[in-house]
Structure 1
Amino acid sequence: MKIKIAYKTAFLLTLFLAVSCDESILDQTNPNQFTVDQYYKDADQLTAATNGIYSEFYGAALWGRMMQYFCDGRADEHVPGGGQLETHNRQLLEGTYDNGNYTISVVWRGLYRIIHRANAVIQFGPQIEEIDAAVQKQRIAEAKFLRSWAYYYLVVNWGKIPVYTEIAQSPGDAQPLSEESVVYQLLETDLTTIQSDLAWNYTGSDAGRASKGAAKLLLARVYMHQGKYSDARDVLEDIYQNGPYSLVANYSDNFMEETEYNDESIFEIGFAGTGFTWSEDGNSSNARSNVMFQDYSPVAWRNCIPADKLLNDFERPYKGDAKEDPRLHATVYFSGDTFGPAESPIVLTDEMQNGNSSQFNGATVKASWKKYSPMYKLDPGGYYTSNINYRNMRYAEVLIKLAECENEIGTQAKAIEYLNEIRARASVDMPAYPTANYPCNSYDQVMRAIMHESYVEFSDEKLRELELARWRKNNKFSTLNPDPIDYIVSDPSKAYLVYPNEETTANTNID
């Protein structure tokens, strides 16, 4: 049986984040809605309020749709599948956006909705008296994790951002931009202090809740983004030595519905509904499904396809490597591959895949995304919504980040060991580093192996833009390992995004 958190938003506060709404809304009160003095009375209400934070994930602003375009547009894994790609998503992908870009604006709004909802739980949850203390601490810890998660994406992509640690009740509560160091200090404090109130993992009806492992891995991301590699290594080693996680034998189990919440999973964005909502907000009495594979499917819209650069980065004999990396065909559909129910497989053809072609192995081919695709069990046709969870954090990331930390502190041999654990996965079984095409005799050579391994292991998992931003911030690109985002190389100011016009208009504290 498939188990998810019941993402039911049981409350609607009359308070709204001032910088993300029309000021006139703040003067209205709906007598059918709860206000904070009526709410937060018991454990059920605190749990419902906490679930309301998670529910924002599956609205169209975030993981239901636009957050995925946002992450893909800031990386080098995707290119337009054809002229059907929406203009605002193409602008982000090509670096031609301005402060009116919808993709940028909607993700900003979605992330601050998470922060606003989390702040309500953090602010009012402690006042509840009729509640088990452990449950109360866990829910508040979850809220702090989710707030930290949202702030992490904001600070990585925008740098200086407004910080809210209490709910905003009027336009006068709009905050000025805080330095990155202030944001990171908040995240370090919260992600450290909440760990004692969380379990390593949750199962059953609590599967998908923020865990100790998720808090630790997010803290490691925060440390590494600041160049604090020794601190990050300590946290990652704790996960490695004491956590319940391990690599699953079958790489593809990380992207299928039947194998969610497996031993490799640390934090998942859960989908369990029967339909997609085009609404930005995640408010709903029902969990929702994900529309992204309608966007990327080879037999649907095919708005984005794998970049030639990614396709040709996978190891294979054509390039002189010892063998073809099995992760390629777990990631990408090529014409000639089969899909659909095992008892009646269907051959994918060029004609089924509208739009652009790719250059691979010196030939022109049609290639499309396969990761997270429901096509392994569905016939073509219809609307390709999916209930496959997105694995926002998985154990392979712990290994590859440990490798990076070891390389930074000068223990290259240990770094290579961690990389080879990933390559030794039973279904992957790639030759250990060093290889002929990936020698590991210097810092830069090991970094090249790390960047390659990250690229092919996590492609289309929405992690790449975070990694590129970290390497760029910490000056890790070099002649051997150049920055792959050409528009940022030519205009370094685009390493950070512009603030949405609606934000700078409403928040007079931002110039």
Structure 2
Amino acid sequence: MKQIIYFTLTILLVSCSSEFLEKDPYGQLTQEQISKEENLESLIVGAYSILNGQIDNASNAFNSPASNWSFGDVVSDDAYKGGGGTGDQNNIHQMEIFSTNPSLIDIERKWKALYEGVRRTNIAIGILNETEDISSDLKQQRLAEMKFLRGHFYFELKKIYNRIPFLDENATSLTDFKVSNTELSNEQVWGKIETDFNDAYAILPATQSQKGRPTKYAAMAYLAKVYLFQGKWDQVLTSTEDVMLNGGYSLMDNFEHVFLPENDNSPEIVFSVQQSINDGNPSNYNGSIGDRLLAPGGPRYSAYGFLRPTQNLVNAYKTNSAGLPSMDNSELTMSDNVDPRIDFTLGRPGIPYKDLGILYQADWARDLATYGPYGPKKRIVSANSPHHLTVWPYVSALNYYIIRYADVLLWRAEALIHTDDIEGARTIINNIRKRARDGNKVMTLDGSSTAANYFIEEYPAFADANEAMTALRMERRLEFAHEGHRFFDLVRWGIAEQVINTYVAAEKEIRPYLNGVNFINGKHEYFPIPQSQVDLGGTDEGGNPLITQNTGY
């Protein structure tokens, strides 16, 4: 059984308004009532509850998914939108073909969900600062938790929208809420996010009895990620070293086991969105509601069929005679050698699917002609599992892992390459590959042999930093495919235009709907600011809009 803080959506004090500029009333409770420990705890749990992207008790949290499957995977070279053709959730199709506009529901809802999180944490911090009704130690710990969560929400906003208004708990008057999204420099916004995680690290305990709450070393790991996105390599090394030496984390022996709900809070998971089903919520919205469109079809699942692996991603798992990635994007065949992670990450025709005793078939997928024969697998829970809901909304209790220990390791490897320790980076990359080599493999239905020609080996010495970085980037792709990170990695590496346009040039030959797609450097690295926020943002004393649209939109 999971030992977690359940992120129930019931909240005593906070209204459901979603506009980030709006200041919230405290309902019918007095300040004295608000400060009572039980009410404070409800307020705090309400801040945690927004982590899963659910903002209004509606079933379309897939427009603001915590997993970023649309924002991080579908807009990359790792996934097609899927579903019943380009008109099914056409808003996500527009994102996939880089025709995103500021009025798309996903652009609006993601912004609102993240600022709802900011709003709830700010309210909780403000009330905690004023209360004297709980012990000093508990008060400081809860303040640290709220700063951790606020840091997370702002990190997501920064990487998705870039130019964002920053509001903290000191915003109390209507004037305070009239904030420009260009008032702070890029470095200043990052600095404020760093401050939240540093403050959290200083206070949070090394372990938590309730697994949904962040720890000291989760805060340090997230701080490492903030440094990573800024290219602060020395700080990445310092912070990852702290996590590795003191955090108590480790890789699981088997890659397959990382993505089983019963292992949701294993030593590999640094911080995650806690999800549950059959917990009393009448609609099971505490489950993986943001991912409910990913069900792959077939005889045991609903046929939503979104998040379909690209041929390019499938080809990336091909290995050469040395057991290393072939890197040539040649089409994978059943006789080729493959990295064993492929068949835990995606569904391939003729390969057993989970523990169902059946082979994945191409016709499980909707609109085979548009999106090809492959399906999602990594974040799909076995239909035999009690953690999978067999009725609407077809969600699961599989947590979404915001940071895995494998992340921390590969961040450190990347920083080592940038600081001229190529051999140190190679050791880390090979440790990740050794798990895939030595761990479980998918077996044939009768268990007599492996289901494919699995062959993966360690890298020999790298010739130079460029070769090392190529290997690092490929390892992140293979290890974290369909976990919502790929697009943001391409952007921070500065190679999004090159990679995506090269991908489209080849992929459009088999996926004609990609004809005409073009990634524009200097525009498509970030999503547009929601038009509603530009319109509602107001003007400064000189009549200039406070909320300025991102370049190119």
TM-score by length of 2: 0.79
Deviation at 1:493, TM superposition (A): 1.6
Distance across 2 between alignment mates of 1:92 and 1:427: 36
* Contact 1:455 1:464 (8 Å CA) reproduced: yes
Question: Distance in 2 between the 1:20 and 1:463 partners?
Answer: 29
Matched, 1:346 2:358: yes
Please list, as runs of the form range in 1=range in 2, the aligned pairs for 1:292-303 lying within 5 A after superposition. Answer: 294-299=292-297, 300-303=303-306
User: 2:206 is matched by which residue type in structure 1?
Assistant: W
2:414 is aligned to 404
Contact 2:255 2:439 in 1 (8 A): yes
Kindly state the Cα deviation for residue 485 of structure 1 after the two structures are TM-superposed: 7.5
Equivalent of residue 461 in structure 1, options 475, 483, 490: 483
**Candidates 363, 367, 379, aligned match of 1:372:** 379
Between the aligned partners of 1:240 and 1:58, the Cα distance in structure 2 is 27
Aligned to 1:502: 532
Residue of 92, 95, 99 corresponding to 1:92 = 95
Mapped contact 1:145–1:215 kept (Cα < 8 A): yes
**CA drift at 1:297:** 2.5
Please tell me whether the aligned partners of residues 144 and 200 of structure 2 are also in contact (alpha carbons under 8 angstroms). Answer: yes
1:424 to 405, 409, 434: 434
**Residue 188 of structure 1: how far off its partner (Å):** 1.4
Quick check: 1:273–1:289 contact (8 Å CA) kept in 2?
Answer: yes
Deviations 1:300-330 (A, max 9, x none): 1112201111111113358975952110001
Residues 212-241 of structure 1: per-residue CA shift (max 9 Å, x gap): 222111111111211111111100011111
Instruction: Give the match for residue 224 of structure 1.
Output: 228
Of the structure 1 ranges 167-176 and 139-148, higher mean CA displacement relative to structure 2 is found in: 167-176
SS at match of 2:288: coil
Which range is displaced more, 312-321 or 148-157? Answer: 312-321
- Counterpart of 1:502, as a letter, is S
Shift of 1:497: 1.7
Would the alpha carbon gap of residues 380 and 59 (structure 1) be closer, same or farther in structure 2, given more than 3 Å must change?
closer
Superposed, which structure 2 residues align to 1:112-261 within 5 Å?
112-166=115-169, 172=175, 173-177=177-181, 178-203=184-209, 206-261=210-265
Deviation of 1:169 after TM superposition, in Å, equals 5.5
2:35 matched to 1:41? Answer: yes
Rounded to whole Å, the distance in 1 between the matches of 2:310 and 2:324 is: 20
Structure 1 vs Structure 2 CA RMSD: 3.2
> What is the TM-score of this pair, normalised by structure 1?
0.85
Q: Does 1:324 align with 2:338?
A: yes
What is the percentage of aligned positions where both structures have the same residue? 24
Report the alpha carbon displacement of residue 381 of structure 1 after superposing the two structures with TM. Answer: 7.0
User: What amino acid is the match of 2:122?
Assistant: N
Match of 1:12 in 2: 13
Counterpart Cα distance in 1 of 2:33 and 2:471 = 53
CA drift of 1:243 comes to 1.4
Query: Per the alignment, do residues 348 and 20 of structure 1 end up closer, same or farther by CA in structure 2, a change over 3 Å counting?
Result: farther
The SS at the match of 2:425 is: helix
> 1:11 Cα deviation (Å)?
1.8
Deviation at 1:489, TM superposition (A): 4.4
Letter in 1 for 2:195: T
Change (3 A) 1:381 1:246: closer
After TM superposition, give the deviation of residue 50 of structure 1 in Å.
Answer: 1.3
User: Does the residue aligned with 2:523 lie in a helix, a strand or coil?
Assistant: helix
Aligned equivalents of 2:158, 2:420: Cα separation in 1: 28
CA drift of 1:125 comes to 0.4
Structure 1 residue runs of 5 or longer lacking an equivalent are 278-283, 360-364
Query: Given residue 3 of structure 2, which amino acid in structure 1 is its aligned partner?
Result: I
Question: In 1, distance between residues paired with 2:203 and 2:260?
Answer: 30
Structure 1 counterpart of 2:286: 288
- For 2:37 and 2:292, the matched residues in 1 are separated by 38
Shift of 1:444: 1.3
Cα displacement (A) at 1:340: 6.6
- How has the CA–CA distance of structure 1 residues 319 and 410 changed in structure 2, closer, same or farther, with 3 Å as cutoff? closer
Distance across 1 between alignment mates of 2:48 and 2:269: 17
Q: CA deviation at 1:42?
A: 3.1
Change (3 A) 1:489 1:52: same
Question: What residue identity is the alignment partner of 2:478?
Answer: V
Return the alpha-carbon distance in structure 1 between the equivalents of residues 290 and 93 of structure 2. Answer: 16
Instruction: Figure out how many residues of one structure are paired with residues of the other and give that number.
Output: 481
Relative distance call for 1:272 and 1:381 in structure 2 (3 A) is: closer
Corresponding residue to 1:355 among 341, 356, 367? 367
- What's the offset of the Cα at 1:349? 2.3
**Aligned pair in 2 of structure 1 residues 477, 355: CA closer, same or farther (>3 Å)?**
closer
Long gaps (5+) in structure 2: 298-302, 326-336, 441-454, 505-516, 539-545, 549-553
